[in-house]
Every structure is written in C-alpha cells, then in structure tokens.
Amino acid sequence: MEIYLVGGAVRDKLLGKPGKDSDWVVVGSTPEEMEEQNFKPVGKDFPVFLHPETKEEYALARTERKSGKGYKGFTFHTSTDITLEEDLARRDLTINAIAEDHSGKLIDPFNGKQDIEDKILRHVSPAFVEDPLRVLRVARFAARFGFRIAPETMSLMKEISKSGELETLVPERVWNELEQAMGATYPSRFILALQACHALGSLFPEVERLFGVPQPEKYHPEIDTGIHTLMSLNQASRLSQDPQIRFATLVHDLGKGTTPKEKLPSHHGHEERGVKLIQALCKRYRAPKQYQELAIQVSRHHFTCHRIEEMRAETILKKLESMDAFRRPERFRKFLICCEADARGRTGFEDRAYPQADYFQQALDAANEVDTESLRQQGLEGRAMAEAIKIERINLISDSFTARK
C-alpha cells in the first residue's frame, strides 16, 4: 500500500496558499484491507474511506470511463494494479493532477507545476470532454486564481458547449460552481470564461442577453449593459467578499435584457422585469432563499437608492417599509453595498464617492430612534400607536437630513 497527497492540497501548497481539506489516494490496496485498518467506507460510486483519526478522505486509485450522458454517466474501476499515474490521468486539469509522497517528493506526470508557475489552466487528457461540469470548474478556477485558459482547453470547452451536454448538469452542481465563483477573487472572470466558450447562453441566458444592449451614454459612458454588469461585479468584489452581494450585483439589471428594441436605450420598468428573471434563474438552479431575496431587493429598489437625496421623508419611510429594512437590517446593509457597486460600475465613476448609501442608512437609523415607550405612556395602542410611530419616524428622518445639510 502506498499513500499520496493529491489534488487541491498539493496545488495550493505550490501556490503558497493555505489548504483546506487534504485528499489522499491509496495505491495497491483493496476495500477489505482499508476496513481492516479501521478506515470507514463512505463512497457510494467508488471506494472512498475516512481516516479513523483525522477523518480525511482516502480514495483507492481508480480509472473512470464515460458510460452515459451528464455528470453521472461514468463507471469507475479500481484494483491493486491501477497506478498513481493512471489515477492522476483521469483528473480535469494539470494543476490538479500532482501528487506528493510521504517524503515531500512531487509526482507530476503532466507538468502541472510548470502550468502553476505559468498561470495556465490546461486539461490533462482528451477525456476532459466527457464531463460537462468541467466547463464550469475551469471557469471557476479562472475566477479563483486569475489564470488564463490554454487555447487547446478552451477549444474542448467550446466542444462541450456545442454538444448540448451542459443541459444534463444537475441544477445543484451548477449553482455550487456559480456560488463558489462569486466568492472567488475574480468573479467576473467566471462570466467571461463561460462567454468565451459559448456556455453562458446555455447556462445563464439572462446574463448573456445583456451584452450588446445599449444604455443612455449620459449615465453609462460604457454604454453596453453587459460591460456595465461586469464592471459592477468588479466593484462589488472591491467592496465585499460576500457571494450574496456579488450575485445580487451580477443580476441587478437582468430586466434590461428584455427591453423592447424600439424603446432602447431607455429601460423604463426594467427593475420589475428583472425580478421575474431572477426568480426564474434562482428556481432553475435551486438557489438558497437568501440569495434570491437580496437579488430581488436590489433589482427592484436600486434606483430608489440612487435618488434617495431627492425624496421626501414620507417617501423614504415607505421605501424602508417595503424593503422590510426594520426587521432585516443586515440585508439592507448588503443592499446598499450592491447599489454602490452599481453606481461605481460605470466608466469614469469607479472611484467616486456614493453618499446615497450613507443617506439611506442614516434614514433607517433615525427612524429606529422612535421612543415607543413614551408613546405607550400616552395611552396609545393599536392603529393609533402605529400612526404615531409612523409620524415620529417621518419627523426623525426629516430632522436627520436637515442636520446633515
């Protein structure tokens, strides 16, 4: 039995990055032998075991063969005759096909170390095309590391996109890749990679439709809505590492992709049109509820935030109530970051201040200063109490804005 550290743990060590979980491959062993040594079997499709003490995963060396459509269409084979090189050959990218033995020596049959140094994402073998999920994985790695995709690998990604097999992917797996990409260092590169290999239209047509759609140059010097979306996503990445904020920013203008051509470059009503598209996208990929809720808030109300300084206190209160800001202050805070990313995601506006977010937050803080106990002591209750709170909130918001000016 020989044991090697493999995959992401080796890759991240070479990148000088802190690793997460360590994965191990076992060569020359059997399931029976693993269990005899108190390893706990957990794999359903192929033999994977948990170490009795560290609980890290140890997988028997294996090969795999395409046997049907989609990610699940694989059969796996393992035996004591399968070599480490054969196991590494089934992996997706050269940077993930490096092993390390107990002495720290690297086994690198596909020159993954060199590709790490050259910052290139390159497939291991032609079998890359057999798993459509790899299109998303490569795009995610581009977002995570900022590496460029080798031309020959991009060609295979285009081949997968053209085959129609992306449509066979399990929705949860697509969402998992998107969510991880939104939390990566360069999330916009995920979108650009999918666009370059013609996968964006298949997986996220709502986003693909934004490219080439014009906006008024007066407010959007970059003009193209797709470019504005990526610029906003870049700004969101500067402002926050929260993937919810970045996702909401990515989809905040989806409604502009459905504006009738005769109405362009105006996009009246795009906010509410975008809500329906967000709901459809989130339903399709079974996105967590909190992602959808924030994205809808941003789509529906981002223009409100941009114009907050022009509004009367009573109108501001209505907006705060409609956004459930009093009960969901943390979501409101994330909403404000998305609005700032949108405002700064324009050519020439990247480093401009965005006081509107402070104004809106100040309005909420002021409205929360209502002394409800004092109102109760006046004998108010029910509808009378609610009306008194409303009036007091309007006054507090108005006073806070006056003091600011």
- How far lies 104's CA from each of 88, 99, 100, in Å? 17, 9, 6
The verdict on 379 and 258 lying in the same domain is yes
- Say yes or no to pLDDT of 34 above 50: yes
Which structure tokens are listed for 149? 């995709």
Structural domains of the chain, count: 2
The verdict on 360 and 252 lying in the same domain is yes
235: in domain? yes
- How far lies 381's CA from each of 134, 392, 395, in Å? 61, 15, 20
pLDDT at residue 73 in the model: 46
Q: How far apart are CA 63 and CA 61, in angstroms?
A: 7
Which of 70, 98, 114 is the last residue before a domain boundary?
A: 114
The DSSP bridge pattern shows strands 57-60 and 23-27 to be: parallel
260: in domain? yes
pLDDT digits (tens, 9 = 90+) for 287-305: 999 999 999 999 999 999 9
Say if residue 265 is preceded by a cis peptide, omega within 30 of 0.
yes
66: in domain? yes
The verdict on 99 and 239 lying in the same domain is no
Contact 334, 239 (CB under 8 A): no
HSE-up (13 A, CA, CB side) for residue 327: 4
Give the CATH number, domain containing residue 24: 3.30.460.10
Q: How far apart are CA 284 and CA 326, in angstroms?
A: 30
- Say yes or no to pLDDT of 367 above 80: yes
Percent of the chain's residues with pLDDT above 90? 81
145: in domain? no
pLDDT digits (tens, 9 = 90+) for 99-143: 999 999 999 999 999 999 999 999 999 999 999 999 999 999 999
The verdict on 232 and 110 lying in the same domain is no
Give the CATH number, domain containing residue 229: 1.10.3210
Q: How far apart are CA 8 and CA 90, in angstroms?
A: 15
pLDDT digits (tens, 9 = 90+) for 170-181: 999 999 999 999
b/e code 209-232 from CB counts within 10 Å (16+ = b): bbbebebeeeebebbbbbbbbbbb
Mean pLDDT of all residues in the chain?
93
Domain of residue 334 covers 204-404
153: in domain? no
pLDDT at residue 45 in the model: 67
Tell me which residue of 141, 119, 246, 241 sits closest to 190, measured CA to CA: 141
Bridge partners for 100 per DSSP: 5, 106
pLDDT at residue 372 in the model: 84
137: in domain? no
Which of 94, 114, 134 is the last residue before a domain boundary?
A: 114
